[in-house]
Structure 1
Amino acid sequence: MVASTDPGGGLAVPVENTVRALRRLAPGAVLRSPRSPDLRVLVAALRECSPAELAGLQAEAVGRVVLAAQLRALDRATTGLFAPDASGPEAARLVRAARHSGRGRTPLRDRLRAELGLRTAALAWATATGSRLLADELRGAPPRPDAEDGRLAAELVVAAVLPRAADGGGRLRAVAGRRGFLDVCSVRVGERGFRIDVRADPLVELVSDGGGPALRALWWTGLGRVTDDVGHEYLLVAKDPDGTGVVRHWCHPRPAPAAGSLRLESSGYRGERLSLTGAARGTFAEVVVKSELTVRLGS
């Protein structure tokens, strides 16, 4: 549910929910305009389809966008300075091949065509890192983007259009109804959006698990959707879990003037069950429990 986009200094955002919110944004939302024509095509497409459908509808644009991103990652990996690209034997061979090639001002694609050693090392790196479209390009095969490439392209689109997370502005306290284990600490409204701090009380319980007692621990993964009572949706620009049980979310834009309340939906819970007697019998289970609560906006 959470993508690897990084629009707010290392803070992850849920791509599927963000893509859906692009279709029913609250008034006042200001998005960035991507410079790439292909990204602009995909922005328009995602207003009508899901990330999983993107590659089937815009195969050429998806292929170019994902391939460009994988080429950028390859270029970084040739320096040996960027983790996780700098790990593994394939990455080490790539760095050595790049050092013996004519880096200079020659574009990477031209160097890959002209230098067999560099192309061979790059192909091994692309295969090891799962950069399938780049590997096809290096083999001379035509690109065939699939649904996973569409998801990657959607992540790149989201990163390109979301405004940067910014704090500041006046405080607006909220009175929240509490359900499950979520509790709103505060809502802070700024010039371009608002911040919600939500506390999650972790549930820990001892249960019977066949051969003996088991510890079942649950932890919260953050908000997945924010809507208001007049039908608008808000972009989750970033979230910042600080490890204290309070997760801070930056949302865009400001609450609509007619909105009287915000409806928050969690991304769900994940659960882990550990056997207390005999680790070999322990099992892992993922438990998704949707939680909702309503925040009434007030002065």
Structure 2
Amino acid sequence: MKEIKIATRKSILALWQSEHIKARIEAQHKGVKVVLEGMKTKGDVILDTPLAKIGGKGLFTKELEDSMLKGETDIAVHSLKDVPVVFPEGLKLAAICSREDTRDAMISEKFAKFSDLPHGAKVGTTSLRRKMQLLIMRPDLEIISLRGNVQTRLRKLKEGEFDAIILAMAGINRLNIKAEVAHIYTFGFDEMIPAMGQGALGVEARDEKKILDEISFLNDETAVIETTIERDFVSVLEGGCQVPIGISARLKGDEISIDVIVGLPDGSEFIKDSLKVSKDKFQSVGKELAHKFIEKGAKELLKRAEEMA
């Protein structure tokens, strides 16, 4: 291929991610030109409604997928945590790149640690997963919906609308915003379990051999192993990207540490587990763990969670 067109959202983070993949492809394949085609998704346009209330899957991917299916673009670069586990016919998840820091972080102008937040503090996040885990730790907090890109969220924090906001460490690192904020507190996995695929970039592509061959080099073995477990778990539970499910798989040597939580957005009920498995179990453990959670009532919890949202 002489030219590869990348469908991308226009947010600063999305453009960074697409530029990063563009540079890697052009470095790998001399003579291949990579072009970015910016577009808006439903999730970018509707900013006055919490994501869970908009409903549907693929809020940040559908328009990009449509452009690939029409042949207008060839690939799309996503934050893997925003990518549904089922793809439209003709498209596939072609590459999973090496992961950034997978953890969540609290950003604040006044408070250095999560435990420093005063009673009734206002914390900004739209994620039901984050809301659930914040309220499990601190039921007194006032969790307020916060939409928009990273810069918009930081502006609202600095203007005093929130005592703290929650962001992914991956976005903080990729956009190099540490110098712009007073305090960053990184949550441990025992405090807040990340979303499936958090910290990884996923490259979606048309299911055509010439395209898939060009980008297969982007795959990172560790990221593939970890996110396979995470996405398998969510797939069996039939949970979308906006439901309160946290799952983190971390490979070290030949051992994988897994933390998982499913519950209600208000933190009043949840199922949680931690385990370690050998690396060779990665293709089955996500599904097996999901079935154990279903036996404990996870599907009923998620159904109630959607009604509450």
Taking structure 2 as the reference length, the TM-score comes to 0.25
Which of structures 1 and 2 has the bigger CA Rg?
Answer: 1
More helix by share: 2
